[in-house]
Amino acid sequence: MERIEIIVRPPSDHDGRLLVADAMLQVLDTIRLLDEAQQAIAAPGEAFRWRLESASTNSPFAVVAIAEAVTPGADIDDHVHRVKSEFGSGLRKLVEAREIPWWMGQSGLDLAKSLFGRGANGISVTEIRLAANDAVAIGHAEADGGLAAIAAINPLQLDAELPERVAFGELGGVMVAAGKYRGKAAVQIRSEQYGFIWCQLSPDLVEKFGGEHRMDEIWSGKALLVEGRLIYAKGGKLSRIEVTGIREREAASRFDLDALLDPNFTAGLDPAEYLRQLHEGELA
């Protein structure tokens, strides 16, 4: 089963004791931020929630939570792993590169700001252990960097006022899953710009590729181009694609740079001398 552990370490003053509100809210806001990542990545049939497995009020304050499928019996381990991976890389990207993670909207930024704010004042370190070899630590330096990154974000980047809309277009990405989304056959692709996107297939496409099982065998892991109706949610986030056409994206052909080289291009002149004569109009 997939787990996370959240450890909140107290500052050195105040006898090493945390404020109750700081400790509890730091855990709650972490879970809420994970939920925002889940909503952007996992389809309804992959939904899960976090159940408390254990908690320790000794110093440091620590909570362990287990992912539980909303649909009984559903296999969610891969989906939980993806959510945790995107959550961790997203927080690091926000702090280190000052880039908004693709799955984080205004509500997510508000949660991150609260996490960083307590990390800068009242909490020594918040450690979020996502896997055995993957943890995010928010100390004073990371908290200060995160707050600075959020403060520097241009509000226009969030497209907060954009209404829901539909556009027709094409999007490229790598297929990562095949199944059903909102009761319809679909594939999920990962796009560099939008992250994980579910692409609902028309009946003609389902018949052409032979259903979910065959589609998964043919296309899984391949770079695809999908075209159709792009459904954008409020705020400008791409919600899903209603696909009318799908094809494998061909890899860019490799250029032979040696074939482009012309050793006689400057007629034996030094490049600098060639450029001088060219500008002076001395070349025939």
Decide: 84 and 71 in contact? Cβ < 8 Å: no
Q: Is residue 83 within a helix (H) or strand (E), and if so which, with residue range?
A: helix 77-96
The string of DSSP letters for 48-64 reads: EEEEEEEEE-SSSEEEE
Structure tokens at 95: 């702090």
Report the alpha-carbon distance of residue 31 to residue 62 in Å, rounded.
Answer: 13
**Arch. (CATH architecture) of 165-248:** Beta Barrel (2.40)
**How far apart are the C-alpha atoms of 115 and 22, rounded to whole Å?**
9
The tokens for 56 are 């320790």
Identify the three-state secondary structure at position 65.
strand
- Please tell me the predicted confidence (pLDDT) of residue 46: 75
Rounded Cα–Cα distance for residues 5 and 135 (Å): 9
- Shortest CA distance to 140 belongs to which of 115, 119, 118? 119
What predicted TM-score, i.e. pTM, was given to this entire model?
0.65
> What is the total residue count of the chain?
284
- Sequence letter at residue 27: V
Q: What confidence score (pLDDT) does residue 162 get?
A: 58
Q: How far apart are the first and last CA of the chain?
A: 76
Kindly calculate the radius of gyration of the chain based on its CA atoms and give it in whole angstroms. Answer: 25
Rounded to an integer, what is the distance from CA 24 to the centroid of its chain? 26
pLDDT score of 38? 87
pLDDT averages per 10-residue partition of the chain, 284 residues:
93 79 94 89 78 89 94 87 92 87 84 94 94 92 91 63 75 85 83 84 80 64 87 77 85 58 72 76 71
Report residue 15 as tokens: 């006898």
Looking at residue 35, its pLDDT comes to 92
Q: Read off the DSSP letter of residue 124.
A: S
If one counts every other C-beta atom within 10 angstroms of the C-beta of residue 276, the result is 13
Please name the residues in contact with 145: beta carbons below 8 A apart, sequence gap of 6 or more. 95, 96
Annotated domain spans of the chain = 3-158, 165-248
CB neighbourhood size of 163 (10 A): 9
pLDDT value of residue 6: 97
Give every CB contact of residue 6 below 8 A, 6+ residues apart in sequence.
26, 27, 30, 62, 63, 65, 126, 127, 128, 129
Report yes or no: 220 and 175 within 8 Å, Cβ to Cβ. Answer: yes
